[in-house]
Amino acid sequence: MRKTILTILFVLCGIGRVWAGDEPPTPESNKNLIDLVQTHADYVWTLVAAALVFFMQAGFALVESGFTRAKNAINIMMKNLMDFSMGTLAFWAVGFALMFGATSTGWFGTSGFFLSDFSVGSDPWVLAFWMFQAVFCATAATIVSGAMAERTRFIGYILYSAILSAIIYPVFGSWAWGSLYKGSGWLEGLGFIDFAGSTVVHSVGGWAALAGAIVLGPRMGKYTKDGRIKPILGHSMPLAALGVFILWLGWFGFNPGSTTAANKDIAMIFVNTNLAAAAGAVLAMFTSWIRFGKPEVGMSLNGALAGLVAITSPCASVTPLSAVIIGAAGGVIVVLSVLFFDKIRVDDPVGAISVHGVCGAWGTLAAGIFNIGGTSAKIIGVQVLGVAACFLWVFPTAFLLFKLIDKFVGLRVSPEEEMEGLDIAEHGGNAYPDFEVSSYGGVGIGVGSGSAPVAEEVSSLEPVRQT
């Protein structure tokens, strides 16, 4: 039966003609077949890459969960499961049309809702392309989750997440990537370089995360009245580290897969991606070593992610040596940025704003500065414009959205629920019922969390207490 279906689909796809021929091959028929085989390779590569990018959802879930407390682990898994699931449906129904629609207002597309570009017998490329774009969209959405961890109402989160996937991400995406399918975009028209989305994906997520963290306010007990910053330790460094390894793996789909074609270019993109990640991890480790006196695990893990985010935009248009420099700089920047946001009391439990927002901006600028074909004030200017456009579109929109949700639905849980943990309060569950879990979130010297320990705190051996 399987064969029958395949045969039917084959014929429907209009390729039966090409293959079926019992007639002797000609150069023309061969050329058609060669194009077809190349197309098959493109499908395989694009979809394998999409699978790897999908897996990043697990990576984000583990990083976020590992860097936060045990009492919120179910909530984090639910948010990550749901932002992908709701996001998939939202991007199918609305987002893809806004981002890549053949007809457009100039600011967003207006056709192709519910994958209506595809029908039986039409070219299935739109499906492969949709799949790859859908997992990208979900990446942007899930980034926000980390910065808003441990205090957000679940209903508020999934509402926001669906709207980001349906509207906020696709609109900016249409400006920078619209022409990849049928649309077009004003930013790419100016020459904006963002090959795999340092800005389109990561900064969009990062600036929305910033808006969310500001509207929510910090977790209870994070910043004391006397001006001290209390580290709140993550509950499982092995899960966080596994998450980073999974993200690194997923990035081998994210960046090289953005060719959406099986070609030789993927090699350089792959190598650049790996070198930048390695350099980011090493430099963040040394930066934390110098700053805190010890090589800190949370910073090192975030350093790898910083390198990956930074190389995402320039991965196809810089040399491997440049990739090392870009990643290394990302590793330093992320440590300083985490400390900065902690200083200004924006509580980001996993460092998402720094990793994705700030390093996304850095990577986008780097794509102009280190451009393999040479750079110019104009190239860099366009990159700056793209970075600014992203911030100016995403931050105010997301800020408004969070304010509206806060007002009409409720964005933050009650202090009692926050203390009890979101797992019980929001989901009636317990992530680790067989284990003795301490209620106050752990003791430690402060450089074991994935987030923002300030140097002053490192010497303090006081446990974190919430009240």
| Binding to its own copies in span 163-202, by CB under 8 A | 176-177, 179-180, 188, 191-195
All residues at 6 or more sequence positions from 431 whose CB lies less than 8 Å from its CB, including other chains: 70, 71, 73, 74, 77, 423
Out of 147, 316, 338, 394, name the contact with its own copies by CB under 8 A.
316
Give me 45's structure tokens.
């590569």
Residue 118, interface with its own copies (CB under 8 A)? Answer: yes
Candidates 86-94, 97-105, 144-152, 346-354: pick the segment binding its own copies (CB under 8 A).
86-94
* Bridge partners of residue 223, in order along the sequence: 229
- Return the number of the residue (144 or 304) whose C-beta is nearest its own copies: 304
d(Cα 121, Cα 124) in Å, to the nearest integer? 8
Tokens 């690194």, residue? 248
- Return the number of the residue (15 or 380) whose C-beta is nearest its own copies: 15
- Which residues, 322 to 351, sit near its own copies by CB under 8 A? 324
Three-state DSSP state, 412: strand
Residue 362, interface with its own copies (CB under 8 A)? Answer: no
Three-state DSSP state, 152: strand
Residue 402, amino acid: F
Q: How far is the CB of 276 from its own copies (least distance, A)?
A: 10
d(Cα 29, Cα 49) in Å, to the nearest integer? 30
d(Cα 44, Cα 66) in Å, to the nearest integer? 33
Residue 242, interface with its own copies (CB under 8 A)? Answer: yes
Q: How far is the CB of 328 from its own copies (least distance, A)?
A: 9
CA torsion, points 346, 349, 353, 359, in degrees to nearest 10? Answer: 130
Q: How far is the CB of 157 from its own copies (least distance, A)?
A: 11
- Return the number of the residue (380 or 399) whose C-beta is nearest its own copies: 380
The dihedral through the CA atoms of 370, 374, 380, 383 has a sign that is negative
Give me 454's structure tokens.
């300030």
- Which residues, 123 to 162, sit near its own copies by CB under 8 A? 124-125, 127-128, 130-131, 134, 154
Site string for its own copies, 93-112 (x = CB under 8 A): --------------------
Q: How far is the CB of 400 from its own copies (least distance, A)?
A: 26
Q: Where are the alpha helices (DSSP H) in 13-149?
A: 16-20, 27-66, 73-90, 96-100, 125-147
Alpha carbon of residue 174 to chain centroid:
17
Candidates 84-92, 221-229, 345-353, 410-418: pick the segment binding its own copies (CB under 8 A).
84-92
- Of 243, 284, 266, 5, nearest in space to 120 by CA: 5
Candidates 213-221, 339-347, 389-397, 432-440: pick the segment binding its own copies (CB under 8 A).
432-440
- DSSP letter (8 states) at residue 450: S
d(Cα 160, Cα 141) in Å, to the nearest integer? 9
Residue 411, interface with its own copies (CB under 8 A)? Answer: no
Candidates 65-73, 164-172, 215-223, 350-358: pick the segment binding its own copies (CB under 8 A).
65-73
Residues binding its own copies: what is the number (CB under 8 A)? 158
d(Cα 352, Cα 205) in Å, to the nearest integer? 8
Site string for its own copies, 448-467 (x = CB under 8 A): x---------x---------
- DSSP letter (8 states) at residue 259: G
Q: How far is the CB of 210 from its own copies (least distance, A)?
A: 26
Three-state DSSP state, 104: strand
Candidates 207-215, 217-225, 315-323, 401-409: pick the segment binding its own copies (CB under 8 A).
315-323
Give me 333's structure tokens.
């920047």
d(Cα 421, Cα 429) in Å, to the nearest integer? 10
- Of 31, 32, 27, nearest in space to 15 by CA: 32
Out of 81, 167, 332, 384, name the contact with its own copies by CB under 8 A.
81
Out of 150, 342, 418, 423, name the contact with its own copies by CB under 8 A.
423
Residue 113, interface with its own copies (CB under 8 A)? Answer: no
Residue 285, interface with its own copies (CB under 8 A)? Answer: yes
- Which residues, 14 to 53, sit near its own copies by CB under 8 A? 15, 24-31, 33-34, 37-41, 43-45, 47-48, 50-52
Residue 294, interface with its own copies (CB under 8 A)? Answer: yes
